[in-house]
Structure 1
């Protein structure tokens, strides 16, 4: 073989070997495309799609620090433990002779998706309160976290544990009493319930709610709440009624609890007629509300008198008027007055002849978005008892 032929043969063999090694080289796979979180604007601000699903999730809540005080020095009792005088129990439930402090942390978890049956929703509220320090019980223990609410809803059907329909509904205009955070007295309570809601932001709306009566298996008849109203840009008008199957939930045992068993076994009802008026071309709103209760039952307004009687604090009649003024984008104020006529004895339809009233004042300043400074004060008075003042200042950051 000539030198030239040998050179060509060697070059051919080298190229073949190089090609074989190239075929055996490791090939790096292209990375999978990353599915970034997508904004879900179907249900309003703050929602995003859970990756890989069509379910929208929103996480919200707040941190709040509150400090309050009262001149309430408590009730005066005789030798047998009967209330004979003293101060009207204060609206905020504060202890006297010092500052009352509380820090609250709240987290809301809200999931929603659209189905052929309507919106499918699940809601969980986690909450912890650090209350007033007590030198006898670890004064700086962490606040216990509890599930304050948990419910699911599909279309207009809602089930779970949440606010009673006699206190709040999905139609926010019907919620509470006055415009303050405390909102005066309006039967604020939570229940296990199953309810149906119909209507929207305008026009006719209503709620029918079957609610747990706390009988723990002793009976099959639930409490019932119904609400019907009409809403427009001018405001709203509504009526609601509640049937309390049993006025209390104490054991059904003869001669116990001061002979209240016969009263606790009785049913009762309450009713409300209310309206909110939004004054055109202003930032002013008015509320007027009236309640009737046939006895001291869960569907009344409640009141400070409950701290005296040991019952709900129901009055035969109650009326409330309140006004809210939004002075600027950052500052608003409201005040309300509520009158109670003829309180009932605890869990009964026996009238005491005592009347009472409550007044509130609320000032709200939001210097920056989602940061609120609020000051509220209340005055409460029941006949034959001294009036009390209570109030608080809080700082709250929403997210």
Structure 2
């Protein structure tokens, strides 16, 4: 046996042993690739894709602290509030599919109740609806909702369950119709509402109409916004009610036959704006549920107010409002009221 044969035999033996050990080795699986949160810029800033889906989600909200004052009260009224907003959107063959939820918590102060919760703490759903194409179903502002800026005006409307369809005609023109449920067990006939919106570079015009079968009455409203300059905005509102409706200017089934008002807003700079205006209300009325008729109170009232809005820093805004109300509905020489509000949003 020569040296060459010995070396070849040794090499073969080593290869055999190495192969056996390799067969017994544990194979470590490759880690699955990590899926990072992706930004969704289709619907604007703040949206991101829910992992594993093509649905975009935006989370937002605000924290509010407000101090209210009225000259007929003996002290300040203060409350804190929080809102959580969830906005989910995706695309379908019928258009954008949107799901929106907004929850509101509010504490008006007071003593501590059971389990450490204040007896004046409330939580409610402000919005809960979905949209696909032009169809919207759920809890939203009534289609009749709308008013001029300021904190003195009365425009009628509130949150309500509804079915609504909006047709976008293009060029800033849209037409909407809605069926709204004013309350459970009134009857099988919902509120019928309609709105025509025109938005152009110079401003906008919004026309509203509503019919309430409860008292067989209707309501009309028109709002005009004109951008006089880049800083100056002029607004006007006019309303008409044939009688008591759920969309009354004061409260459901309480309002005025007619009203007219205006507001002027001036943007001083990026952070500061000021505004002032007033509204006159003619022939106050309410609905008598016993007789099913509208009762005329023969009262005319008016209101004026001023507002200062200031952006302290990004996402932190302050609002100061002062109002004065007077007329036949006020037994004394009118009433002053106002508030200071701080909103911290995200």
Q: TM-score over 0.5 for the alignment?
A: yes
Q: CA deviation at 1:277?
A: 0.5
In the TM superposition, what are the counterparts of 1:365-376 in structure 2 within 5 Å?
Answer: 365-376=310-321
2:261/2:277 contact within 8 Å kept: yes
Matched, 1:157 2:143: no
Query: Which residue in the other structure is 2:231 paired with?
Result: 283
Indicate how the Cα distance of structure 1 residues 220 and 285 shifts in structure 2: closer, same or farther if over 3 A, else same.
same
Q: CA deviation at 1:202?
A: 4.0
- Choose 348-357 or 104-113, whichever is displaced more: 348-357
Query: What whole-Å deviation, never above 9, does each CA across 1:232-263 have from its counterpart, x for those lacking one?
Result: 010112321111111xxxxxxxxxxxxxxxxx
Query: Which residue in the other structure is 1:327 paired with?
Result: 268
**In 2, Cα distance between the equivalents of 1:34 and 1:12?**
44
Indicate how the Cα distance of structure 1 residues 293 and 142 shifts in structure 2: closer, same or farther if over 3 A, else same.
closer
**In 2, Cα distance between the equivalents of 1:15 and 1:297?**
95
Indicate how the Cα distance of structure 1 residues 385 and 313 shifts in structure 2: closer, same or farther if over 3 A, else same.
farther
Matched, 1:61 2:61: yes
Query: Which residue in the other structure is 1:385 paired with?
Result: 331
SS at match of 1:349: strand
**In 2, Cα distance between the equivalents of 1:313 and 1:34?**
59
Q: CA deviation at 1:12?
A: 3.3
**In 2, Cα distance between the equivalents of 1:142 and 1:37?**
40
Query: Which residue in the other structure is 2:200 paired with?
Result: 232
Query: What whole-Å deviation, never above 9, does each CA across 1:202-240 have from its counterpart, x for those lacking one?
Result: 432111011113142x53211101112322010112321
**Which residue of 56, 72, 90 corresponds with 1:113?**
90
Matched, 1:130 2:107: yes
Matched, 1:192 2:158: no
**In 1, Cα distance between the equivalents of 2:122 and 2:21?**
66
Larger strand proportion of the pair: 2
Q: Which has the higher contact order (CA 8 A, sep 6+)?
A: 1
SS at match of 2:295: coil
**In 1, Cα distance between the equivalents of 2:296 and 2:33?**
73
**In 1, Cα distance between the equivalents of 2:298 and 2:122?**
42
SS at match of 1:344: strand
**Which residue of 329, 344, 353 corresponds with 2:285?**
344
**Which residue of 276, 297, 300 corresponds with 1:355?**
300
1:292/1:300 contact within 8 Å kept: no
Q: CA deviation at 1:312?
A: 4.0
Indicate how the Cα distance of structure 1 residues 125 and 136 shifts in structure 2: closer, same or farther if over 3 A, else same.
closer
Indicate how the Cα distance of structure 1 residues 27 and 155 shifts in structure 2: closer, same or farther if over 3 A, else same.
same
**In 1, Cα distance between the equivalents of 2:319 and 2:174?**
32
Q: CA deviation at 1:398?
A: 0.8
Query: Which residue in the other structure is 1:315 paired with?
Result: 256
**In 2, Cα distance between the equivalents of 1:102 and 1:4?**
97
Query: Which residue in the other structure is 1:396 paired with?
Result: 343
Gaps of 5+ in 2: none
**In 2, Cα distance between the equivalents of 1:50 and 1:15?**
52
**In 1, Cα distance between the equivalents of 2:318 and 2:14?**
82
2:226/2:235 contact within 8 Å kept: yes
**In 2, Cα distance between the equivalents of 1:274 and 1:52?**
45
Indicate how the Cα distance of structure 1 residues 103 and 162 shifts in structure 2: closer, same or farther if over 3 A, else same.
same
**In 1, Cα distance between the equivalents of 2:305 and 2:79?**
20
